[in-house]
Structures are given as C-alpha cells and as structure tokens.
Amino acid sequence: MSSPADLTLAEASAGLRGGKLSARELLEATFDRASLTEAELHAYLTIDHENARAAAAAADEAQANGLWVGPLHGIPVAIKDNMVTAALQTTAGSQILAGYVPPYDATAVTALKSAGAIIVGKTNLDEFAMGSSTENSGYGPSANPWDTTRVPGGSSGGSAAAVAAGSAMIALGSDTGGSIRQPASLCGVVGMKPTYGLVSRYGLIAFASSLDQIGPISRTVEDAAATLEVIAGHDPLDATSYRGEYPRYRSLLGEGVSGLRVGVVAELSGAGIHPEVLSAFRSAVDSLAEGGAIVSEVSLPSMEYALSAYYLIAPAECSANLARFDGVRYGLRVDGATVEEMTARTRAAGFGPEVTRRILLGTYALSAGYYDAFYGQAQKVRTLVIQDFTRAYEGVDVLVSPTSPITAFELGSRTEDPLSMYLVDVCTIPSNLAGTPGISVPVGIDGAGLPIGFQIMAPALGEEVLFRVAAEVERASAWNNRRPPMVEADHGV
C-alpha cells in the first residue's frame, strides 16, 4: 500500500480538505519515511519532531473549527539549512556556525508558515552552498536515493534527496549557480530557480548576493508553481525584492505548448553532454514539437565563458560576505593571543577546504592590481551573457538544454578535482548570471537507473510560460509515478 509520504502536494491537500487525511497522519508518515531512509541518505541536519507535531496538531484543530490556514495547510516542508529559522539550529552546513540558533525566520520561511506549512527540519548542503555534490558539508555528505553510492547533487542536495525519498513533500533550496536545478536533476525531482528578486533573500545566509535566489523543490511542476505562489512577493527587508505584480503561476499549466517558440541552446546541447543525457533531452524536445511547439536551434556565444566568469564573480562576493564570520559576533570562536590570531584560528578551524579555496580565490580577484583584470573582466562577460539571452528571447519564448551534462556521479569521485566538479554546473550557471528563471524537470533514466533532468529557461519574470512548458515536458515524460528503488523495494510503495 502506498504511503501518504508519497503523495504530491496537490493530492495531499485534497485529502486533507476532504477529511480523508489529517495533518498528523501526513506528518507521521513523513517522519516514518525519514526514519527508514536517513541512515543511508543523511538528507537532514536537524529534524524538528516536537515543534512539527505541535504545528500539525494545531492544523488539525484549526480545520476541525472550520479554518483552512492557507494553500500549504498541513503540508510537511523541509528547509535548506542556509535559511535562518527561529529557535531551530541553522548552520549553513559549516562548523563555524555549529549550535547557532537564530532569533528570527527568513522571509520565505515566514511565508510558508503563514500558508499553513509544517516545517519538518533543516536539510544538508555544501558548506555555505559552495559545491555541486553536498560532499562539502561540515557534517558529512548526503547520498542519492536512486543509488546511495552516488551524490545527490548540490548544493541543495539534502533538500532534493528528502523530496525524492518522501521525507518531505516539498523543500526550499537556494540557487547561486544551479544549486536547486542540478540536484533536482540528479535526484529525479522538479527544481525551480525564480527570477532574481522574485523571492526575498532576507534570512538567506549569503554566498554571492547578486546571484543567490531561493526556490522550490517538489515532485511535480504544479507543486513547484503552488509553492512559488506562496513564497514570492515584495519584501521591504530585501532591497533587491521585486515590487511589481505577482501572477498565479499555475494559471497556464494546462494550456499546452502549441505555437510557443522553443530555442535549443546549441552551446549547451552538444559536446560535453553525456550521450544518454543528450538522447533523453532530444526525446523531450521532440515531444514539445509533437505538442505544437515551434523548435529551433539558438546560439548563445558567450556561454563558452560563463563558467569562468561565474567562478570569479561568485568567489569575490563570497570573500566579502564571509568576512563577517570572525569569531567575534556569533558562531565558533577559537581563542588567540590577539584579535588577529583569534580570527585566523577561528576561520581555519571553522571553514572547510572548498570554502577556504573560494575565499582565497575571491580575495585575490578583488585585490589591488588584479581587480580590473579578473573581477572587472568577469563582470563584462556577465553583461555579454545577459545580452545574448536578451537577443535570444526576441525570437523564442523559452530556451532549453540538459540540466546537468551527466547523471549522478559516485561519492568521492570528483572531490580531488575541483575543475571537474565545477563543470557539472555548466548548463545552469548562465541563468544565474542573467538573473532569469529556470526549472529542471525529470525526463528519463540512464542505463544505471539514474534520473536525467531537462532544463527550461525563460526571460526575467517569465515564470508563467516557464511552468507552462515544464508541465508539457512532465506530461510527455510520464515521470510522476516513478520513485527511487530504495523507496519502492524497502518501504512498501
């Protein structure tokens, strides 16, 4: 018999509204799934049994009194552990923040709670969101539910693994260079990065402030759209927050793609993409054409330089943002004879090797005599990327590519070669540089039984058409009933 933990958000909400399911039953099924999978997955850093159960009981009591709190009433949600949560430890996956309990909630977390969501816990991530495999966590790596010898992707690997395994119905991740979409691709779930500024970054522990964006990870496109409707909105606490209209992102999900113009990005759909990934991608493109989309190939010449530009801009911003972790104000402190020695010892003990690498790279790129040659040039390339996208969207409604050039790789196989790890994000980074939305939808399985993701990109504030195309890709792939083998074989699904 199927567990309530395997329902979609839409199915669970219908069950709750109809009285066939209670918030407590749904939460306990989620906890049961976590107890069965966490020993292998390590998707969570913290599971908040006590407060979640109290919230579920309150949700059931409210419904008994005729009150439906909001669109996420009674839904178990996981939060990536770089978003602050009041009275619940927030570490950003780093030992430098071990034991830190914030005094407030991130705006996106507040929005979830206001909509009735039940916060299950905080998920594992690459330290300060710096990584593509969740192996850089200061608390140990997470594993992929489809094959626990492989990575779940990163940096939101814990969130993607939890949703795929059923220990959360939906989850929030953050995406700086692909950190929602890439793990969603590797774990066989839907991951969506909104337009920069559409979701408030207030309470998100910053990695690279001009690139970071919070977004949903879910089992279906409809669930992702529903979650974005909850967390999107202007926030006066975030100076970059969008002030315009916020439409209903589910409004066009059933409209199909007839007449829509779809551009296949030539630079992201050829050399360097694994043959099985490319085959699944081409099949999904063919399904869009069969649905009436007008498909053409589009060239974005600056894509060749986007990865290099990103790995100068992001570390430079990381260098500035992480300067606050000095052992003085909060977090870890390792004593020294002087303030300088104390700070040096604290940072040496608290930061892992990947964070240290990026701080050093960013500090070098910003240093006197090198700023113009490195950071300045990278920003010029960023402008070229934006211009390429702008020109492309004059002729097409959306752009498509594989989400990741490969499927999930083995744990430990790339940790000694940072460049090979960075190349995993080659398809996702351009949207972050441009500030435009992107989504990954699962479309197939490779010969090893590992998921393959299909990426759709749209112009800034083009979320409606993005979800419309994603829904058609999802429908054609018939993915919705697939579950990882560890769930199907071991847990009675």
Active-site positions read 80, 155, 179
List the Cα angle 107/111/115 in 5-degree steps.
170
Q: For tokens 């991608």, name the residue.
A: 281
User: Is the distance from CB of 111 to CB of 67 less than 8 angstroms?
Assistant: no
Alpha-carbon distance 250 to 470, whole Å?
Answer: 11
E strands, 82-228, are 118-123, 170-174, 190-193, 214-218
Q: Treating both helix axes as pointing N-terminal to C-terminal, what angle do 157-165 and 23-41 enclose, rounded to 10 degrees?
A: 120
Give the distance from CA 161 to its chain's centroid: 11
Task: Render the burial of 433-462: b for 16+ CB within 10 Å, e for the rest.
Answer: bbbbbbbbbbbbbbeeebbbbbbbbbbbbb
User: Is the distance from CB of 342 to CB of 336 less than 8 angstroms?
Assistant: yes
**Number of separate helices (H) and strands (E) present in the chain:** 16, 11
Q: Which helix (H) or strand (E) holds 113?
A: helix 107-114
Q: Specify the 3-state DSSP secondary structure of 150.
A: strand
Q: For tokens 């159960």, name the residue.
A: 53
Amino acid letter at 457?
Answer: M
Alpha-carbon distance 466 to 111, whole Å?
Answer: 23
User: Is the distance from CB of 245 to CB of 198 less than 8 angstroms?
Assistant: no
Answer positive or negative: Cα dihedral of 393, 396, 397, 400.
negative
